[in-house]
Amino acid sequence: MPRNGNIRKVLVIGSGPIIIGQAAEFDYSGSQACKALKEEGIEVVLINSNPATIMTDGDTADRVYIEPITIDVVKKIIERERPDGILASFGGQTGLNMAVQLANDGILDRYGIELLGTSLMSIKKAEDRELFKETMQNIGEKVPMSTIVTDLDDAVAFAEKVGFPIIIRPAYTLGGTGGGIANNMEEFRYICGKGLKLSMIRQVLLEQSVAGWKEIEFEVMRDGADNCIIICSMENLDPVGVHTGDSIVVAPCQTLSDKEYQMLRSASIKIIRALEIKGGCNIQFALDPNSFDYVVIEVNPRVSRSSALASKATGYPIARVASKIAIGLNLDEIMNSVTHTTYACFEPAIDYVVTKVPRWPFDKFKSADRSLGTQMKATGEVMAIGRTFEESLLKAIDSLDIKLNYQLGLELFDNYTVDELLEILESPRDERIFAIFKALQKGVPVDKIVEITKIDKFFISKLQNIVQVAEDVKNAGIAWLDYDLYMRAKKIGFGDSYIANLLNVPLDTVLELRQKYPVKPVYKLVDTCAGEFEARTPYYYSTYEEYDDVVVSDRKKVLVIGSGPIRIGQGIEFDYCSVHCVRTLRELGLESIIINNNPETVSTDFDTSDKLYFEPLTKECVLDIIEKEKPEGIIVQFGGQTAINLAGTLHKEGVRILGTSVESIDIAEDRDKFLRLLEELDIPIPEGSTAYSVSEAKAIANRIGYPVLVRPSYVLGGRAMEIVYNDRALEEYMKMAVEISSKHPVLIDKYINGIEAEVDGICDGEDVLIPGIFQHVERAGVHSGDSIAIYPPHTLSREIKDVITDYSVRLAKALKIVGLFNIQFVIDSNGKVYVIEVNPRASRTVPIMSKITGIPMVNVATKLIMGSRLRDLGYEPGLAKESSFTAVKAPVFSFAKLSTVDTFLSPEMKSTGEVMGVDRDFRVALYKALVASGLSIPRGGNVLVATGEWDRDDCIAISKKFSQLGFKLLAVEDDYNCLADAGIPAELVPEDKVLDYIKTDRVSLVLSTHAKAGVPGRLGFAIRRTSMEYNIPCLTSLDTANAILDVLEHLSECGEPGIYALDEYSRYEGKAC
């Protein structure tokens, strides 16, 4: 069928900020969808509150609204844009929920808008537990014994009937939020209570547990003519019980016989037909490992994280094809954009093994519960491709960028006894794979591990192979490591540094051997068809075999290093930067090559770069590719800290680093050199010094005076950074920090309690352009990634801005920056400006700054890196003229997914994503940003005030304002007395009842700060966690509270906030003609 001609304008709904369970995959799918629609001549309108995305770029859609994805805002956009259709299945659960809401509110009908792709009925059939169960039963597909309950009594009745374990899943939530497995009544009551609260429709599904069965997924597509195809089957290494987002996943399925495969394939097609899905969907099965019994666990009636993985695993562009289906095209009418010779109607055949490994945030959240269950905890994931399972798994582990001592991370469990290891194996947790390796190494039999973990013997045997080869290499020693054994080690996926570790020789010794043989990897093509047809898509992976698929062109090439998995501190913004860099290189007529390993992103899309190498970002893998492609140089400044960290080692190997030199990077990152530079430039920095021992640290702290800010010298996202208030706390910190990094010293700086600001600049080595300055709402001490940031600064004076600009320009020039840089400042109460740090790379705020100012920062920076001058590009040096619009960046957290983590804001970054609010008025912009971040600001109700002694005066002042705005105050005894003393009316809440107040909806906002400076109290922690779990907004910074008060006061004055499209504010006005 030709495409639906009635559809001329389509509204695409994005997924909003990155949170656990909804990450970069929806930028990939959303961008592909917009592109696919535009190709068909359709006008695309987009809404997404996440600015750090390619999909919110001006050229992705015709009209881009970076606005909160709320029903009110979407309604306004619909009124203004009058789209013919709406595409909601590309924006994750957020998009789907919005579609349901729009339909329920009658908005689609009122404006005659067609819901494209999967219908509302189909969404409901897949998402509503009861309807789903009924639909499955009608077609004879089994689902686990289950029931839907809307209150706790019914839940308990079911549990008494079927017994434990029972799985609890709230309806209409993402990433399994609020779900879990209960093994006894106590756990059951707790999880159910929480789940009921979190579900949009106050519904939870209780389900008989099939834990231990194989978890198999199918990615299925169906078009309007009822053609159905399977894109990819995937097998979770971890059996049912661990959320698929937290499982190691292998594609295609490895342990199914054809009979089992076809049984589930046929079931998948039956299911997608019964649900009448038009587009893609993901179906999860639990398969009994000892019979043909299976049950359908879940269907996602939309593109998902799994479909992004399936897309990258096979090369089949699921999102693109699903969007074409949504506007009426059929599978046999859509070209296969990989081969250009075949059609989208086929089932990809692959001739390699793909392994996905999740990236968890536990390195940031030391107190977090590391066990894995039905609630997803990973922030991101990596994928690797190999010709053996072992190779793909080890490459994936290498891609995690978790700084393991060596590839298998075995050192982690070195001191564990067999019994301790077996205990770890019993319950799934993030490091289990390493514990299995260690157990095998200690001689635990494969069968024993299979029995404990229920992981298929096929996989454990493969892990045993890895352990065996490691053992063989170790025993051979450098003397007997011959070509055959070395090749065996390479084929199984060992990096040279791991081989060197096993042999206990320097890496260079192994490299010499490798040169001597010589051994080089070959690169194979990902082509959707296992080599059956010629393919044009330049998408490669390395392996150790005989023949190479890569054709090296004679064009001038530049290699861009990507940023790897999404993690706290290094998010989607660096993928945004990498993609823009690659696009600019192509614009300049250069061949762009990208290396990355994140399957969720746009940078790993098959048509983003001229060549894509899906590889770990290790020195070895990058050097191999450089040797193969011989690029002019490589660009490291857009791939976050991962890429920057490679600069030094690659430079030593003679690789040309384009842009800012390695020497300059070193000066910026080496504390002592940096201090010397600032001294020369006469730019102030908070007093501080480097300590190599505890006593040294104490001496420094006492000299400069507490509080001090302490951190290890090399940092990623503020890791292990803390404000310390006295000797004892410092001693404790030093114990921990030195453990983290024995080679690197600890930095101790005077903590300045002032306003933070930051600058993103572009420099060509001589001239410096500062697109703008961000002012942070929260004072220094809250990680910049967790602060609300406002552009242009709302309270900084002209003088201070001049000082900031002057320092930025002089620093960039002195460092001879070529490309982007970011500088963090703090301004003390006397208006004195200090530099805190310089990052010689792209920063988190680059996408926002680019969007609000209209200066395409990465594009300009890439051109400078390739030799252009700012002036030639038409940019006047200095601080660009401020926009008449205000942009506010607000952080977004995923605390709901991570139990036992304190939600208190600190120098350690905790947020997983961010949103942007834009308006002419900064308070409205702030309001929009807060709404978009998911903070529902109550207009009235009860505010629970739980403060500490040290900041009580400030808290009282804030509480007073809440009171004046009509909020009722609640407080426990100490706070209540202080409020009473200040003459502010409040209700006394007994300390032992305060949590009940939160749980029973008697609190609409919580204000909770530390008991003592820097020390979270036990009650405070309980209050914060409880409000998090019961979805009550909780403010932990007085600055945030003040800002919100400002918004509340202002909102009552003005009417409803308006909406603005990107092109209405992102016009760069300072550009010389």
Partner 1 sequence: MKSVLVLEDGTYFPGFGFGTGGETIGEVVFNTSMTGYQEIITDPSYKGQIVTMTYPLIGNCGFNAEDSESGSVQVQGFIVKELCDHPNNWRCSIGTDEFFRENNIIGLRGIDTRALVKHIRTKGSMFGIISTECGNVDVLLERLRAGMQERRRPVYEVTVKEPVHIEGNGKRIALIDLGTRKALIRYFRKHGCEIHILPASSSADEVLACSPDGVVVSGGPGDPRDLPELKQALAGLIGKKPLLGIGLGHQLLGLALGGTVRRLKYGHHGANLPVKDFTTGRCYITSQSHNYALDAGINADVEVIQINVNDNTVEGFRHKKLPVSGVQYCPVSAGGPQDPAYILERFLDTL
Interacting residue ranges for partner 1, rule: CB under 8 A? 225-230, 252-259, 261-262, 265-266, 269, 289-291, 330-332, 341-343, 345-353, 387-389, 446, 456-458, 461, 524, 529-534, 545-547, 549
- Closest distance to partner 1 from the beta carbon of 905 (Å): 48
Peptide bond before residue 907 is cis, with ω within 30 degrees of 0? no
Query: C-beta of 240: minimal distance to partner 1 in Å?
Result: 16
Which one-letter amino acid corresponds to residue 343?
A: Y
CA separation, residue 822 to residues 109, 564, 892 (Å): 48, 21, 21
CA–CA distance, 848 with 785 (Å, rounded to integer): 13
DSSP code, position 19: B
Listed in sequence order, the DSSP H helices in 777-921 are: 798-814, 846-853, 857-865
Q: How far apart are CA 78 and CA 84, in angstroms?
A: 10
**Judged by CB, which is closer to partner 1: 398, or 456?**
456
Minimum CB distance to partner 1, residue 934 (Å): 41
- Give whichever of 230 and 590 is closer to partner 1, judged by the CB atom: 230
Q: Collapsing DSSP states into helix, strand and coil, what is residue 431?
A: coil
- Select 1 or 201, whichever has its Cβ closest to partner 1: 1
* Nearer residue to partner 1 within complex by CB, 257 or 830: 257
Nearest approach in angstroms of CB 528 to partner 1 is 10
CB of 238 to partner 1, least distance (A): 16
Shortest distance in whole angstroms from residue 464 CB to partner 1: 8
**Contact partners, residue 871, CB within 8 Å, separation at least 6:** 767, 877
Q: Which is nearer to partner 1, 456 or 1029 (CB)?
A: 456
Cα 641 to Cα 643: distance, rounded to the nearest angstrom: 5
Q: Which is nearer to partner 1, 34 or 345 (CB)?
A: 345
SS3 of 775, please? strand
Q: Are strands 968-971 and 942-946 parallel, antiparallel or unpaired?
A: parallel
- Which is closer to partner 1, CB of 151 or CB of 226? 226
Give min distance, CB of 343 to partner 1, in A: 5
CB of 576 to partner 1, least distance (A): 34
1029-1032: long-range pairs with CB below 8 Å, 24+ = 1029/194, 1029/197, 1029/896, 1029/899, 1030/194, 1030/197, 1030/998, 1030/999, 1030/1001, 1031/197, 1031/198, 1031/896, 1032/998, 1032/1003, 1032/1004, 1032/1005, 1032/1006
- Nearer to partner 1 among residue 186 and residue 547 (C-beta): 547
What residue type is assigned to position 196 of the chain? L
Tell me the helices (H) and strands (E) count for the chain, helix number first: 36, 39
Give kind and range of the element (H or E) at residue 167: strand 166-170
> Reduced to 3 states, what is the DSSP secondary structure of residue 983?
coil
Burial class (CB in 10 A: 0-12, 13-18, 19+), 936: middle
What's the closest the beta carbon of residue 715 comes to partner 1, in angstroms? 41
Identify the sign of the CA torsion 593, 598, 603, 605. Answer: positive
Tokens of 782: 């809250």
Count of residues in the chain: 1073
Distance CA(429)–CA(196), nearest Å, equals 26
**CB 222, min distance to partner 1, A:** 11
Q: For partner 1, give the closer residue by CB, 457 or 744.
A: 457
Question: Which residue is listed with tokens 């209409």?
Answer: 172
- Residue 200 or 519 with smaller CB distance to partner 1: 519
- Closest distance of CB 213 from partner 1, Å: 12
What one-character DSSP code corresponds to residue 604?
A: T
Distance CA 86, CA 949 (A): 53
Please identify, using beta-carbon distances, which residue of 256 and 281 lies nearer to partner 1.
256
Nearest CB to partner 1, comparing residues 115 and 264: 264
- Distance in angstroms (rounded) separating the CA atoms of residues 244 and 1033: 29
Smallest separation (angstroms) from partner 1 to the CB of 225 = 6
For residue 31, the SS3 value is helix
Residue 286: CB minimum distance to partner 1, A: 15
Nearest residue (CB) to partner 1, 526 versus 773: 526
Q: CB-wise, 252 or 1057, nearer to partner 1?
A: 252
For the chain, state the CA radius of gyration: 28
Contact by Cβ (8 Å): 54, 576:
yes
Write out the two tokens for 575. 């993928």
And the tokens for 111? 């404006």
Residue closer to partner 1, measured from CB, 352 or 413: 352
Contacts of residue 417, defined as CB under 8 A and 6 or more positions apart, other chains included, come to none
Count Cβ neighbours within 10 Å for each residue of 766-778 and write b for 16 or more, e otherwise: ebbbbbbbbbbbb
For the bound state, the minimum distance from the C-beta of residue 387 to partner 1, rounded and expressed in Å, comes to 5
- Beginning with the edge strand found earlier in the chain, give each strand of the sheet holding 1034-1035 in spatial order: 987-988, 968-971, 942-946, 1005-1008, 1034-1035
| Least distance from partner 1 to the Cβ atom of residue 608, Å | 25
When the beta carbons of 252 and 913 are compared against partner 1, the nearer one is 252
Nearer to partner 1, 484 or 739 (CB): 484
Q: How far is the CB of 288 from partner 1 (least distance, A)?
A: 8
Q: How far is the CB of 451 from partner 1 (least distance, A)?
A: 13
Distance CA 78, CA 904 (A): 38
The least distance separating partner 1 from the CB of residue 466, rounded to whole angstroms, comes to 13
Looking at beta carbons only, is 446 or 681 nearer to partner 1?
A: 446
Q: How far is CA 1031 from the centre of its chain?
A: 21
